[in-house]
Amino acid sequence: MKGLVLKDLYYLKGFLKQYFLVAAFLTAWSVFLKNSSFMVTYLLVMGNTLLLSTSSMDEAVYFNRFALTMPVSRKMLVQSKYILLILIETSALLVGLLFGFFLELSPYRFNGASRWVTTSFDWSGNVILFVLFVGVSSVTLPVVFKLGVEKARNIYVIVMLGLAVLIFGGLKLCQMAGISLEALKRLEEVPPVEFVTVLLALCAAVVVISYRISLRMIRNKEL
């Protein structure tokens, strides 16, 4: 299992330079705006992209078929991708949280005076983004094992667009229909720790369900 995960991490080394360049730009932009959401979103999106990239490389060289000639089971192939998913996205979240705390504590010059300021850093918002992108990957991974990476990329784009339409379109329709959004505002009254705990529990449940579906898919597929 460790070898399968390390294999994927070695794959990713070739992508790191270009991603770091973009990350450096977004870091500077986040510092300028005193908001870490750009950095966190980028890291989580890239986490999803890198996960699909490793699957694409495996598919290109028929790695799964080769791996089964060794003491590697189909279950281990599935488990390695989900471990990689959690590893990459959790790392992205932790980097985003640390970056957000750094921004919150960093000195900021305003009207010629250097002082300490409170930024718009919202750690619970970063966790919500983490749950969202892990959930999207949980939808696409079973498609990878069933239909292949290219179709999974299409599903990924469709799911992301669907979420955008659902969120922003739903809010716009509520405003046009004169529907009150007071119920959404009440969510702000929920303690962040309790809210995040529930979200993480739901995220874990989604990942487990996705894993079981992927396992069934690969067992019924001719590699």
Q: Which long-range contacts (CB under 8 A, 24 or more apart) does 199-203 make?
A: 199/127, 199/128, 199/131, 200/127, 200/131, 202/131, 203/130, 203/131, 203/134, 203/135
pLDDT of residue 179: 55
Between CA 99 and CA 40 the distance in angstroms is 9
Q: Give percent of the chain with pLDDT exceeding 90.
A: 18
**Residue predicted with more confidence, 11 or 203:** 203
pLDDT at residue 207 in the model: 94
SS3 letters across 13-41: HHHHHHHHHHHHHHHHHHHHHCCCHHHHH
Given a contact cutoff of 8 angstroms between Cβ atoms, the answer to whether 50 and 209 are in contact is no
Q: Which residue has the tokens 């488990």?
A: 79
Which tokens hold the place of 104? 């919150």
211 pLDDT higher than 90: yes
Please, which residues have CB within 8 angstroms of residue 82's CB and are 6 or more apart in sequence? 141, 207, 210, 211, 214
> Among 23, 75, 84, 39, which residue's Cα sits nearest to residue 57?
84
Tell me the HSE value of 56 on the side-chain side, using a 13 A CA sphere. 13
Rounded CA separation 140/163 (Å): 14
Closest CA to 30 of 114, 112, 102, 110: 102
- Structure confidence by residue, pLDDT tens digits, 103-146: 666 554 444 444 444 444 567 778 888 898 999 999 999 999 98
pLDDT at res. 113: 43
Grouping H, G, I as helix, E, B as strand and the rest as coil, residue 114 is strand
Each residue's pLDDT tens digit, 152-191: 888 888 888 887 777 677 666 666 666 555 555 555 555 5
Q: Taking Cα atoms as reference points, which of 96, 167, 95, 163 lies closest to residue 126? A: 96
Q: What is the pLDDT of residues 38-94, one digit of tens each?
A: 778 888 888 888 888 888 888 888 888 888 888 888 999 999 999 999 998 998 888
Percentage helix, strand, coil, to 5, in the chain? 80, 5, 15
Which of residues 97 and 27 earns the better pLDDT score? 97
* pLDDT higher at 201 or 19: 201
